[in-house]
Amino acid sequence: MNFSFVTGDAVRAGGAMIVVPLLDGDLGDTAPAALASADKALEGKLRAAAAQEGFKGKADQSLVLHTMGKLASERVMLLGLGARAKFTPEVLRLAAGRAAKTAQKLKLTELTFIVPDTAPAPVAARVIVEGLMLGVYKFDRYKTSGNKEDKKAPGLNTVRLVLPEGASQGQELEDAVELGRQVAQATNWARDLVNEPPNVVDPDRLAAAAQEVAKAAGLKATIGGRREIERLKMGMFLGVAQGSAHEPRLIHLAYVPKNPKDAKRAPLALVGKAITFDSGGLSLKPSDSMIDMKTDMAGSAAVLGAMRVIGELQPPFPVHAFIGACENMPSGTAYRPGDILTSRLGKTVEITNTDAEGRLVLGDIITWAVEHKPAALIDLATLTGACVVALGNYIVGAFGEHDATVEHVLAAAKTAGEEFWRMPVTELQKDALRSEVADMKNSGERWGGAINAALFLKEFVGDTPWVHLDIAGPSTSPKERGYFNKGATGVGVRTLVEYVRLRAASPESAQAEETAAPTKPAKGKARSKTARA
């Protein structure tokens, strides 16, 4: 998608459609200049039509009218932003997404978008770029029937952004648009990876996708198979993977700054859950719960998408991604309820439910990540249905005890326009994972299930500042909404990128984490510390 800036009277800008974002109640005398001049050119019929159609500027409203040759553009779209008091850049991003979907339905290849002055121009321009690019996203590559011409149509490719009066058209604006473009591209890439069926995205293909990211973004990639996972004594990961016909993959990507001094700093570690299909294993899921389980690798897709942008951003500290990819399947070789697995850390785990597989793989991967002495570790995982019960389909559960790091991640989410909510990591529930025969069991009682999962992961984290993000709900959208379609959302990409930007911009926040960084790893029956991949 190509973006250009224009200034001056928007109504003369021309094009197939001019999009005019409006706050609730902004149709009166206080109306933005673009509305006033379009209404004037249309002899007052624009406001009249809006009134007649009940368009007030509410956040879910829009109105498309043909201009009958009275304006330079063929159509005008009034786009509701809702109340001024509730305005955030995310409101504009969602609205731009709706405009994109409208343009797509009208088969437009170009449009003109009035940048509202409700946010600083670089912020507004960036979220419009993101909203439009995320909004035109479709996953239809497997549809062979229907209108083939539709699929071949060029789609929305040219956007003129009309800047508010007085906004300067400098480097800051260009950079904001470029960042928006990169983030949207990476998010759509992650959405593709999640939407792809599980017979296509298997562990090997996920590793290939990681390699693709590394190549595009100039990162170091190391991929291992079962032998390497055995060498690293990741008994929990191996247990989950052993029921599948597909070999598991161990994935390590590293962004290392060019400046040697920066390269020596403690890295930021990103860990993503990568179960390419979660059948539940022998604790088989009911059919209906299994349908969407190709999305059980959304955490790793978000990490990989973010790594792609991070390679371009070049922050002054290393960033590493750690992923263990496998399938959770029932078979004659599958791990069983009752099995006792020995983790890389040395802790033993009694399996009470083979469907609580994510925490097993993540536990070993977290141990491995912690061995790289990160300044902070963030994991993203479609970990529990319980988190969906607690927070619904749109909110990420954020767990962690290192307040500074949790708050930085929450602040990043807020800037990125993703909804996060802090959840407790309470010791009150620790008994839930107590086992009679091993150091712990992998699934506890149902109540507080999302917390139990976080408590399990915590066992492998040690003193590393750590944030666990349960994205089981928001990794997919149940319906079309704003810039989303039904299906994968790419949640997490935007927040991770923003977190890295925040950390790069404020050395104090990075330092607060680094000084709290561990000198000792998580307590386990000490295993060889030399094994590093």
Which C-beta is closer to ligand BES: that of 276 or that of 509? 276
C-alpha closest to that of 418 among 480, 487, 469: 469
The distance of closest approach from Cβ of residue 278 to Zn ion in the complex, given in angstroms and rounded to an integer, is 4
The residue assigned the tokens 């405009």 is 99
Which C-beta is closer to Mn ion: that of 90 or that of 278? 278
Q: Between 287 and 316, how does the x/- string for binding to Zn ion read (CB under 5 A)?
A: ---------x--------------------
Question: With binding defined as CB under 5 A, does residue 513 bind Mn ion?
Answer: no
Give the pairing of strands 396-399 and 319-328: unpaired
The distance of closest approach from Cβ of residue 283 to Mn ion in the complex, given in angstroms and rounded to an integer, is 8
The distance of closest approach from Cβ of residue 431 to Mn ion in the complex, given in angstroms and rounded to an integer, is 22
* Single-letter residue type at 63: L
What's 118's DSSP letter?
T
Options 130, 278, 364, 498; binder of Zn ion; rule CB under 5 A: 278
359 is a catalytic site residue: yes
> What is the C-alpha radius of gyration for the chain, rounded to an integer number of angstroms?
25
The distance of closest approach from Cβ of residue 388 to Mn ion in the complex, given in angstroms and rounded to an integer, is 13
Question: With binding defined as CB under 6 A, does residue 357 bind ligand BES?
Answer: yes
84 is a catalytic site residue: no
Options 388, 396, 423, 510; binder of ligand BES; rule CB under 6 A: 388
* 3-state helix vs strand vs coil in the chain, percent to 5: 40, 20, 40
Q: Between 252 and 281, how does the x/- string for binding to ligand BES read (CB under 6 A)?
A: --------------------------x---
The 3-class secondary structure across 9-65, one letter per residue, is: CHHHCCEEEEEEEEECCCCCCCCCHHHHHHHHHCCCHHHHHHHHHCCCCCCCCEEEE
Q: Which of 93, 101, 359, 458 is catalytic?
A: 359
Q: Please, which of residues 459-478 interact with ligand BES by CB under 6 A?
A: 472
Which C-beta is closer to Zn ion: that of 195 or that of 300? 300
Q: Which of 285, 422, 430, 527 is catalytic?
A: 285
Map residue 505 onto helix, strand or coil.
helix
Q: Please, which of residues 428-447 interact with ligand BES by CB under 6 A?
A: 443
The distance of closest approach from Cβ of residue 376 to ligand BES in the complex, given in angstroms and rounded to an integer, is 25
The distance of closest approach from Cβ of residue 448 to Zn ion in the complex, given in angstroms and rounded to an integer, is 18
Number of residues counted as binding ligand BES (CB under 6 A):
16
Question: With binding defined as CB under 6 A, does residue 384 bind ligand BES?
Answer: yes
Which C-beta is closer to ligand BES: that of 293 or that of 377? 293
Distance CA 370, CA 308 (A): 22
Map residue 511 onto helix, strand or coil.
helix
C-alpha closest to that of 125 among 67, 203, 89, 177: 177
* Site stretch for ligand BES (CB under 6 A), options 115-123, 171-179, 353-361, 508-516: 353-361
Question: With binding defined as CB under 6 A, does residue 393 bind ligand BES?
Answer: no
Task: Give every CB contact of residue 94 below 8 A, 6+ residues apart in sequence.
Answer: 59, 131, 481, 482, 483
Q: What element of type H or E holds 96?
A: helix 89-105
Residue 386, contacted partner among Mn ion, ligand BES, Zn ion, none, CB below 5-8 A by kind: ligand BES
Which C-beta is closer to Zn ion: that of 116 or that of 358? 358
The distance of closest approach from Cβ of residue 55 to Zn ion in the complex, given in angstroms and rounded to an integer, is 44
Options 130, 202, 350, 355; binder of Mn ion; rule CB under 5 A: 355
Give the angle 525-240-473 at the CA atoms, nearest 5°: 105
Name the strands in the sheet holding 249-255, side by side, starting at the edge strand that comes first in the sequence: 220-224, 249-255, 319-328, 268-278, 376-381, 466-470, 396-399, 420-423
Helices (H), 160-274: 171-195, 203-217, 226-231, 235-241, 260-263
Residues of this chain that bind Mn ion (CB under 5 A): 278, 355, 357
Catalytic site positions: 285, 359
Residues of this chain that bind ligand BES (CB under 6 A): 278, 296, 353, 355-358, 382-386, 388, 443, 449, 472
